[in-house]
Structure 1
Amino acid sequence: MSNLQQSYNAGQTKGQAHEKAEQWTESAKETAHSARDKTANAAQSTKESAQHGQQQASGFIQQTGESVKNMAQGAVDGVKNTLGINEKK
């Protein structure tokens, strides 16, 4: 094989290697962008879920507080009735 043919083949191989490297780089970029998008979507979903859970917990605590308050008032009224000091004027 002549030096000219060897140089041509080497240049062709180098060009093919460069093209493959560009394809791999582009594929890696696409994979990274996809992973970033999926992570962002998962984070948003988690945030929304946490906010919903916080709202539910807040409502539950408020309802429980109202129930305890009503039971305590009922107990106070019961004691007053027993002692005869719950007369309404």
Structure 2
Amino acid sequence: MSSHEEQIRGRAEETKGHAQEKTGQMMGKGRDAAEAAKEKVAGGAQGAREQTQEKGEQTGGFLSEKTQAAKEKASETAQTAREKATGAAQGARDTAEAGKEKTGGVFQAAGEQVRSAAQGAAEAVKSTFGMAGEKMPGEKTPGGTANE
């Protein structure tokens, strides 16, 4: 081989080495850029997951508060209804008791009137037959004993 060929071959090998070196550097930069992009995407995805989770927790807390408030309102409404029903039932019992007492009084007064009328009729019959003042068998005397 001639020295000129050797020189060309040397330069070619040198150029080839530089090309390989540059290719390696470019590949390294490409890998670094890809890794950085991957980390950025992963970081963004993690951030998005965290934000989603945080929003979910906030929404869950909000719904939990609203649900609890609705439960409390329903409980208060039910308690008010129970109290009103108890009051109405007590009023009905009181009215029924007053009516019972009034009815009892009316029947007692009617009974006394019937007894008084019967006694008056008996006295009228006795008087008609001339037996006024005499006690009939089984009739009570003013002292409470029965006449035999």
TM-score bin, normalised by smaller chain: 0.7 to 0.9
Identical pairs, percent: 36
Deviation string for 1:30-55 (max 9, x for gaps)?
A: 01110111112112211211111111
Instruction: Trace 1:9-88 onto structure 2 (pairs within 5 A).
Output: 9-86=55-132
Amino acid of the structure 2 residue aligned with 1:41: G
What TM-score, normalized to structure 2? 0.55
Larger radius of gyration: 2
Which has the larger helix fraction?
1
Q: How far apart, CA to CA, are the structure 2 residues paired with 1:87 and 1:56?
A: 37
Q: Which runs of 5+ in 1 are unaligned?
A: none
Aligned length: 88
Q: Which runs of 5+ in 2 are unaligned?
A: 1-44, 135-148
Q: Larger RCO: Structure 1 or Structure 2 (Cα < 8 Å, ≥ 6 residues apart)?
A: 1
RMSD: 1.7
Distance 1:51 1:87, change over 3 A: closer
Runs of 4+ off more than 3 Å: none
